[in-house]
Amino acid sequence: MQKKKTSKKLWIRSAVQIFFFGLIALIAVNHSLAEEGRGIAFLSSASLHAICPFGGVVTLYQLVTTGTFVQKIHESSVVLAGLVLLLAILFGPVFCGWVCPLGTVQEWFGKLGKKIFRKRYNHFIPQKIDRVLRYLRYLVLGWVIYMTAISGTLIFSNLDPYYALFHFWTGEVAVTGMIVLGVTLLGSLVVERPWCKYACPYGALLGVTNLFRVFKIRRKESSCISCNLCSEDCPMNIQVSQKKVVRDHQCISCLECTSEAVCPVADTVVLSIGEK
Amino acid sequence: MKMNARIMTIVVLVVLFGGIALATALGLWNTENTRTPTRLEKGDAAGEYGEYNPEDIRGSYTFTEVSKFFEIPLDELRLAFGLPEDIDMTVFRTGDLESLYGDQLSEDQEIGNGSVKLFVALYKGLPFPLTEPEYLPEAAAEILKARGNLDDETLAFLDQYTLQVTAPENAEAVEAVQAEAEEEHTESGSAESVNGNTTFKQVLDAGVPEERIVEILGMEMPNHILTVKNFCLENGLPFSTVKGALEAEITGE
């Protein structure tokens, strides 16, 4: 058995998260500048709606039934939705764990929460309640798709913390959106990724791919030393140490449980296709 | 087969950015509404088939875009609508005209995007329905008359709907007038306008009965999630007329 000397966070994931957060923030700022005629030429000035893959999901009904897009949504959103779905079929909701800037911000707030609450962090909500709350995001998904379909407007943008995060300086954000963002960020101080766990409609949709994704997270029982670090470090509180294959609908493919990160034994928790 | 984080990162980046590059190459990567007006179709006007349709000038078009699409010198547009020399025509939109003349207009008068449509159509000799009141500043009417291609009916229409107005003298004053209008709009909480983004659902929600919408359109009730503007364009209806009629229903005038 080959045991690693130290376990560590995946630096490459942090780098990718910072890159996408910076990219989206720059595009959002450039969009505001472009509206004033001061946009930066080499950078995209697309609206946030145009580069949000969830827009491609909520417009599908209208696209199929009338051949048009929901207000403020464009072809780019549908293209992105397709690409993210392809990635999810391969690796699960890797978009949530590696790309989504709202998830990244929640993790940054979570780091502060971990310093404050230490071991109690991410374990405040009783398991019974938590388990039920985890299905709330499917209700949100159903509501958003239904309301968008019957109204032809982006109903969700008034509640969307992602939109609020990158537009708070514009005066275009509804009060409800700012409240949801505030609650999400404050909640991140006690629970890791509360929006992703309990309310994100896009996470709900992508989470379904965990049931049939091509590359799955697998735990090799023969080399596992039952240290439980994989379960303890999982931001979504999945009991990885009790599973051979992670098929939990909440997995965000962050790979923090794997032998590349927290698992101290090499080749024991891995992302793989097939048994090995 | 095992997949490590580095390889997965490369796959993620290649799929996302490669996919965007491919979509761009195929012409599928559009991040904004097409800003090109529709073109006149056969039967709209003899000899004008294929020209950009002035009726499709949107309030979000800048004066520079109007100048480019319809090949009208920018200075001519500036003069027609009394815009100050220092105003940035690449930013100032035709819809911004609505707040420009402030309290010089009575409640039933407006100089806005509709005025630009009328001016462009007459300037280019393109078809435009002279059925609804559409006001122009005096300078615009003078430019059109000087081109000498208007018939008697159009001249009479211009005489009836020409207004003597004075625009703010510089860009700073324009901004001040716009800020004031914006403030008034916010205070009044107005939700009475129909614009390019308004859906039939929103019109229904504003209290206009379905039968009345059917009557205005002269067609069966469209899918509620369609925008009024798209429906009009696809069915050859004059958006300005439909918009005016729906707004009148909403305000109860």
pLDDT digits (tens, 9 = 90+) for B201-215: 888 888 888 888 988
**Minimal C-alpha gap between B147 and chain A (Å):** 33
Task: Name the pLDDT band for B14 (thresholds 50, 70, 90).
Answer: very high
Q: Which residues of B touch A47 (CB under 8 A)?
A: 31-32
pLDDT in tens, A124-135: 999 899 999 999
Measured between beta carbons, which residues in chain A are less than 8 angstroms from residue B20? Answer: 79-80, 83
User: Residue A22's CB: how many other CB atoms inside 10 A?
Assistant: 11
A152: pLDDT strictly greater than 50:
yes
pLDDT at B114: 87
**Phi and psi angles of residue B211, each rounded to the nearest 5 degrees, phi first:** -60, -40
> Do residues A251 and A93 lie in contact, with contact meaning Cβ atoms separated by under 8 Å?
yes
Quick one: closest CA in B to A147, which residue? B225
pLDDT for position A240? 96
Residue type, A112: L
Query: For residue B49, what pLDDT band results from cuts at 50, 70 and 90?
Result: low
Task: Report pLDDT for A6.
Answer: 46
3-state helix, strand, coil in chain B (%, to 5): 50, 5, 45
**What pLDDT shows up at residue A275?**
64
Predicted pLDDT at B190: 45
Q: Using the beta-carbon criterion (under 8 Å), do A83 and B19 form an inter-chain contact?
A: yes
pLDDT at A260 over 50: yes
> How buried is B150 (Cβ within 10 angstroms: 0-12 exposed, 13-18 middle, 19+ buried)?
middle
Q: Which of B31, B185, B201, B224 to mutate to test the interface with A (most CBs of A within 10 A)?
A: B31
Pick the more confident residue, B44 or A80: A80
CA distance B223 to chain A (A): 8
Pairing relation of β-strands B136-137 and B162-163? parallel
More confident residue, A9 or B122: B122
Asked if A79's CB is within 8 angstroms of B20's CB, the reply is: yes
B191 pLDDT more than 70: no
Per residue in B230-244, pLDDT (tens digit) is 787 777 677 777 888
Q: Least CA distance to B12: which residue of chain A?
A: A87
pLDDT of residue B34: 64
Q: Provide the pLDDT for residue B43.
A: 59
- Asked if A98's CB is within 8 angstroms of B16's CB, the reply is no
**B16: which 2 tokens?**
């996302």
Banded model confidence at residue B100, pLDDT cuts 50, 70, 90: confident
Which of A7, A58, A70, A75 has the highest number of chain B CBs within 10 A, making it the mutation to test binding with B? A75
Does the pLDDT at position B198 exceed 60?
Answer: yes
Which candidate from A90, A152, A260 shows the least CB-CB separation from B226? Answer: A152
The pLDDT score that the predictor gives to residue A164 is 95
Q: Does B214 touch chain A (CB under 8 A)?
A: no
**Topology at the third CATH level for domain A216-276:** Alpha-Beta Plaits (3.30.70)
Count of CB atoms within 10 A of residue B152's CB? 7
Of A176-185, A251-260, B99-108, B126-135, the least confident = B99-108
Neighbours of B96 (CB within 10 A): 21
Q: CB distance from A273 to chain B under 8 Å?
A: yes
**CA A75 vs CA A47, A152, A207, B49: distances in Å:** 13, 16, 24, 29
pLDDT of residue B96: 84
Q: Where are the domains of chain B?
A: 1-31, 54-188, 200-251
Whether residue B31 and residue A44 make contact (CB cut-off 8 A), yes or no, is yes
Q: Phi-psi bin for B84: left (phi > 0), alpha (psi -120 to 50), beta?
A: beta
Token pair 């968008």 is found at: A148
| Residue with the larger pLDDT of the pair B177 and B62 | B62
Pick the residue with more confidence: B44 or B220?
B220
Whether A113 has a pLDDT exceeding 70, the answer reads: yes
What per-residue confidence (pLDDT) applies to B101?
Answer: 80
Higher pLDDT, B86 or A205: A205
pLDDT in tens, A82-95: 999 999 999 999 99
User: Which sequence spans correspond to the domains of chain A?
Assistant: 11-210, 216-276
Residues within 8 A of B (CB atoms), A 65-124 only: 65-66, 68, 70-72, 74-76, 79-80, 82-84, 86-87, 90-91, 94, 98-99
CA-angle at B248, arms to B244 and B253, nearest 5°: 145
Residues 168-197 of B with CB under 8 A from A: 197
Q: Which helix (H) or strand (E) holds A81?
A: helix A75-91
Kindly list the strands in the beta sheet with B2-3, ordered across the sheet, starting from the edge strand earlier in the chain: A216-219, A269-272, B2-3
| Among the partner residues A68, A86, A149, nearest to B15 by beta-carbon distance | A86
**Least confident interval from A206-210, A220-224, B16-20, B206-210:** B206-210
- Is B94's Cβ below 8 Å from some Cβ in A? no
- Put simply, whether A5 touches B (Cβ < 8 Å) is no
Share of chain A above pLDDT 70, in %: 95
Looking at chain B, which residue has its C-alpha nearest residue A269?
Answer: B2
User: Over the range B10-23, which residues count as b (16 or more CB within 10 Å of their CB) and which as e?
Assistant: ebbeebbeebbeeb
Q: What is the pLDDT of residues A50-65, one digit of tens each?
A: 999 999 999 998 888 8
Closest residue of A to B197, CA-based? A71
Q: What percent of chain B has pLDDT over 90?
A: 26
Contact indicator for B180, B190 with CB cutoff of 8 Å: no
Q: pLDDT band at residue A7, thresholds of 50, 70 and 90?
A: very low
| Contact at CB, B5 and A10, closer than 8 angstroms | yes
Chain A residues with CB under 8 Å of B13 CB are 16
